Structure formats: structure tokens, C-alpha cells
Structure 1
């Protein structure tokens, strides 16, 4: 497959790790969502489907839900 697939996995790990250091919860959820999307792409390439499912169903949807509610609350 190539090293570029590994770079996707490393990028995902870095973004998820960096998100944990953020104080702004909106930035944390946004960066974490991007990292999770990269994990989904990476896990499909390496055929680690349980990792993809957890990232799609649980983490990404939870992040998107809370981002939506935070953005909606800011508009009040």
C-alpha cells in the first residue's frame, strides 16, 4: 500500500492527541472530529473495520451533535 497510509494514521493520532490539550471545547471537538475522520480512512485501508465503526458511529456523531448544539446556543 505504501507509507502514505501510515502517514494518515500518524496524522489522525496527532490531531486526536492535540485536541486533548485544547481549552476551547469547540476547537477540541472540531480537531478531534478531523482526527477521527482520518482514523476512519486509515482503518478502512488497513481493514480494521471495528475501529472505523467506533469512530464513525460514536465519536464523530457525538462530536458533531455537541458542535451543533454549541453553535445553536451561540445563536440565541
Structure 2
């Protein structure tokens, strides 16, 4: 299935890219980590959807997601 000549898998990748870029426009570090984490989740989903799956995309974004979660929890206490 395509929209504007782009596959839906590519749209997931574009959404992930846009979310990560938008995260860097936030003023608060905690907001940056939250929005960036959502972008990382989208990138993990994108990496799984690719044929064949992209382990580098999945591993990198899972690692960044874990780092974001660690600092969000650390800053809460």
C-alpha cells in the first residue's frame, strides 16, 4: 500500500525521523527525552518492518530509549 508514491513502511520511518528532530526543539530536557523516546520506539518499529529487518536501527534506538528512560527515572527522584 502506498500514499503519494511512498510505502507505509517508509512513512513510519519519516514519522520517526520527524519525531526525533522535533524532540531537539524542546526547551526542557525531560520533554526532549520523552518525545525522543517516542521517536526511538517508532524507529524500532520501522527497523522491524524493513525487509530484511535492520538490526543496527533496532539496537541503536533501543539503547537510546533505555538511556532516556534511565535519566527520566533518575531525574524524577
Same fold by TM-score greater than 0.5: yes
From 45, 67, 76, the equivalent of 1:71 is 76
CA RMSD of aligned residues (A): 1.2
Deviation at 1:7, TM superposition (A): 1.3
Q: Which structure dedicates a bigger proportion of its chain to strand? A: 2
Unaligned runs of 5+ in 1: none
From 6, 9, 16, the equivalent of 1:12 is 16
The equivalent of 2:60 in structure 1 is: 54
Deviation at 1:42, TM superposition (A): 0.2
Deviation at 1:60, TM superposition (A): 0.5
From 33, 38, 42, the equivalent of 2:37 is 33
Q: Which structure dedicates a bigger proportion of its chain to helix? A: 1
C-alpha distance in structure 2 between counterparts of 1:42 and 1:71, whole Å: 30
Report runs of 4+ in structure 1 exceeding 3 Å deviation.
Answer: none
C-alpha distance in structure 2 between counterparts of 1:50 and 1:19, whole Å: 21
